[in-house]
Chain A
Amino acid sequence: MIPQGPKLGNHPTRFRLEGTPVITVMLGSMVTALPVVVSSPVMPPFGLLLLLSWRLLRPELWQAWIALPLGLFDDIMSGQPLGSAMFLWTITLIVVDSTERQLYWRDYWQDWLLAAAAIIFCLSGGLLFARLTGGGGTMMLIAPQILWSILLYPFVARQCAWLDRWRIMA
């Protein structure tokens, strides 16, 4: 379903323009509040997937520091040690910024590759931090989670694009 076009003379509100991406990422982080009790890490990190989708879809939308509050919120929700997503997400956005400067052409496959690298970095970094603060686990444990997070990225990016149309149309 494609959202209706803008009505003449209407502008979307500021809240809708700037709040929508932030709220969707926070809702993605809150997926862990669903009543699913699992005994291994199987849930894809929806907060991270949405953050990457918005960042790659709309490079001008956010500066790198936006990952600090969003990462903090994700840490509160996810059960990771506090500061883990704060650090990993911010580094990811800074690296995405600098990579974008190097690339001249951008296409779908590059976005996916970039997102895949970011997902691998954030999930294995999260594992490292969980191990440092008393947890355990091996790379084999999070390999399935990494795999289907990467496979899920195009779908999430698509939903973001759909939501983006609604966002900028009044």
Chain B
Amino acid sequence: MARPPSRRPGQNRKAQYSLFASYVVAVTGALAGLLLIIIAMFDPTGFAVIRSAGAEITRPVSSGLKELVSGIGTVDERIAAFYKAGSQNVSLRRQVDINRTRLIEAAAIEQENVRLKKLLKLVDEEKDEVVAARLISSSSSSTRRLARLNAGRSQGAYPGMPVRAPEGLIGRIYTAGPNTSDVLLLTDSTNVVPVRRSTDNIAGISTGSDDGSLTVKSLTAGRNPFKPGDILVTSGTGGIYQPNIPVAIVVRIAGDDAVAVPLASPARVEMVMVQRPFEASLARPAGTATPGTPPPRTAPTVTTTAAPAPVEAAAPAPPPADNAASVAQ
């Protein structure tokens, strides 16, 4: 194919000027784009209003389609479940019997827990759940790991609030619009979560690797204490996240770090819950908490709230957790 007709206008002065003007506009606009990015370098959430306006427009489409296709991510799982329904039924029934006794034991422990807390004059915040909503879409073509939540300021979801699913932690709210908000997923490399191993008090810091996994750095000196199969839960240090929310499972050790996979996959969870920032009522009123700046740490409260967890009843107390806070900040 010969080349398309040239854009260069011949002798027509007017056409020459208008072509030149179009390039001037294009270059000026490109420089304006650069300027916007430079502004965003200093204030990453500065243009959230514009983006949330776009989110409001696409919300009906996204949430409508979500209703239709909510099962797509789990098709393989359903087929497998159907295939092994019989044998699974038997083993599940056995499991239920075992769990029943455990539940009874747990109820007894819970009562004892309440009694002990009363002795200690501790009161847990009763309602820490703000709203339950769905994740309706995500930044699937960008390297930022943001998911869009079908709830915003008018439902009580404000930036900085943690978001969790029944299976585990999802992330925290990054920007919030009137009816939608963007959730910074656990796997984004700017999302740092203080964690500890569920079986003991070994503390660590989890950072996203942007590719669906997390990098966990240990805070203890010496060699890497984590091993594949370890379950990590939030330690509650530094505020924002409630303690004892399941976060991830360690799959691999890479030198001094451990590579973990989140327990709650944002692609599969049906509903997520927006929670109040941990200790926010003491630190500052909910809603003014900004992302990136966790509310001031209140060390004594953190440690006492973390203590009643049944798994660490016999564990040594909080020096590692305290350590976590100083590194996190």
Contact = CB atoms under 8 A, between A and B. Distances in A.
Given A39-B265, A83-B33, A141-B211, A65 B142 contact: no
A136 B190 contact: yes
A41 B3 contact: no
Given A41-B141, A141-B211, A81 B40 contact: yes
Interface in B257-278: 262, 265-267
Contacts of A68: 25-26, 29-30, 33
B66 interface: yes
Give the most central of A65, A101, A103: most B CB within 10 Å: A65
Contacts of B3: 100, 103-106
Interface stretch (A4-12, A16-24, A87-95, A154-162): A87-95
Contacts, number: 204
Interface in A62-97: 63-65, 67-68, 71, 73, 76-87, 90-91, 93-94, 97
A65 B29 contact: yes
B40 A137 contact: no
Contacts of B282: none
Given A40-B212, A106-B1, A79 B182 contact: yes
Interface stretch (B4-12, B99-107, B243-251): B4-12
Contact of B41 (A38, A104, A132): A132
Interface in A16-70: 30-46, 59-60, 63-65, 67-68
Nearest to B25: A65
A46 B140 CA distance: 11
Contact of A80 (B5, B23, B32, B142): B142
Nearest to B190: A134
A137 B36 contact: no
A82 B38 CA distance: 10
B188 interface: yes
B143 interface: yes
Contact of B144 (A43, A67, A94, A130): A130
B50 A101 contact: no
B185 A64 contact: no
B147 A90 contact: no
**Main DSSP-derived SS at the B contact region:** mixed
Contact of A65 (B22, B139, B140): B22
Contacts of B147: 37
Interface in A123-157: 126-127, 129-137, 141-142, 145
A128 to B, nearest CB: 10
Interface stretch (B54-62, B86-94, B123-131, B302-310): B54-62
B135 interface: yes
Nearest to B65: A35
Nearest to B262: A39
B237 interface: no
7 contacts: A31-B140, A37-B137, A37-B140, A38-B138, A39-B185, A87-B34, A126-B142
Interface of B: 1-8, 19, 22-23, 25-27, 29-37, 40-41, 44, 47, 50-51, 53-54, 58, 61-63, 65-66, 69-70, 135-147, 182, 185, 187-190, 208, 210-212, 262, 265-267
Given A37-B137, A126-B142, 5 more contacts: A41-B140, A83-B34, A106-B1, A135-B210, A137-B210
The 4 lowest CB-CB distance pairs between A and B, nearest first, are A79-B139, A83-B36, A136-B189, A86-B33
